Amino acid sequence: MTPPGLDTDATTPCAVPGCGGPAVRSLARTEVRKAFPQLSEEGRRAPLCKDHYKQWKKATKAARKLDRLAW
């Protein structure tokens, strides 16, 4: 069983405009739009390549930390 969010189909392209790299993670589109506002509105999930996933993690690090502290 694969963990949630892990894209096993390596042929899915990254959702960020101008990037066509193979997706390694698939996240909620609303979460990804926080770091990449130019992302299209179609669909619920946004597949991200390794580089864009890393950029998303860095861009949302503070907000995710605050969310975890609210528990």
Q: What is the pLDDT along the chain (71 residues), one digit of tens a residue?
A: 566 666 555 579 999 999 989 999 999 999 999 999 999 888 999 999 999 999 999 999 999 999 999 87
Domain boundaries, the chain: 1-71
Q: What is the pLDDT of residue 11?
A: 79
DSSP state for residue 9 in the 8-state scheme = -
The helix (H) or strand (E) run that includes residue 48 is: strand 45-48
What is the per-residue pLDDT for 2? 61
Is residue 23 within 8 Å of residue 48, measured between CB atoms? Answer: yes
Kindly state the tokens that stand for 13: 């392209």
